[in-house]
A = this chain, B = another copy of it.
Amino acid sequence: MFSPTEENYLKAIYLLTEKDSARAVATNELSAQMNTRAASVTDMLKRLADKRLIHYKKYKGVMLTTSGKSQALAIVRKHRLWEYFLVEKLKFQWDEVHAVAEELEHVKSEALIDKLDSYLNNPKFDPHGDPIPDRLGKLSASGFKNLTSLKVNEKGKVAAVIEQQPAFLKHLDKLHIHMSTPLKVIEHIAFDKSMTISINQTATVNISHEVAKNILITK
């Protein structure tokens, strides 16, 4: 149906507007996300517009059409299901799966992804806590809170990470912070916005604001 490149552009537009789907995406934003030059983006935007996957007006940025969004959700679904498979079944680390899923997501087979979904027991969240769209593109509401918003003595479990670069994920590994790890806030340090937390009821450590703000928590 669509080429891997077209799929990657659609996914990139979707991910940039995941929080605010009414907003337009700028050419330079996309060129940063895709590691291509702005001129290449403009070319591709014309092609995606011809295929009615995006709304595009010169110089005005771009938004997904209904059809484009549903395509994008299908790719995100595949990406996240494959990530789940790689971690749960093949025992990859959570910092290793993104690059591989980036290729697997382009394999064209409805049957494959539906059977994979069943085989994995229809998981709702991927190894980074991101929601996995169902066959119809529907996302589970997560209602996670940012770690920085917890008060002293409040507890919770790690539910998702915002930043997902391997360097950040490996840093969390070193702190023994993983998906579902229980955390408790010991102190907020006003000076640098850092936090002291207890991890898994054992270690007590200080983490920077930069780290804390990239961790989402559930009960």
Binding site for B on A (CB under 8 A): 86, 89-92, 96, 99-100, 103-104, 106-109, 111-112, 115-116, 119
Jot down 22 A-B pairs with beta carbons below 8 A, ordered by A. A86-B112, A89-B119, A90-B112, A90-B115, A90-B116, A90-B119, A91-B115, A92-B111, A92-B115, A96-B111, A99-B109, A100-B107, A100-B109, A100-B111, A100-B112, A103-B106, A103-B107, A103-B108, A103-B109, A104-B104, A104-B107, A107-B107
Q: How far is the CB of A120 from chain B (nearest CB, A)?
A: 10
Q: Give the docked Cα–Cα distance between A91 and B114 (Å).
A: 11
Q: Give the docked Cα–Cα distance between A86 and B104 (Å).
A: 14
Residues of B near A86 (CB, < 8 A) are: 112
Q: Give the docked Cα–Cα distance between A64 and B126 (Å).
A: 42
Q: Give the docked Cα–Cα distance between A96 and B104 (Å).
A: 18
Minimal Cβ-Cβ distance residue in B for A112: B100
Minimal Cβ-Cβ distance residue in B for A114: B90
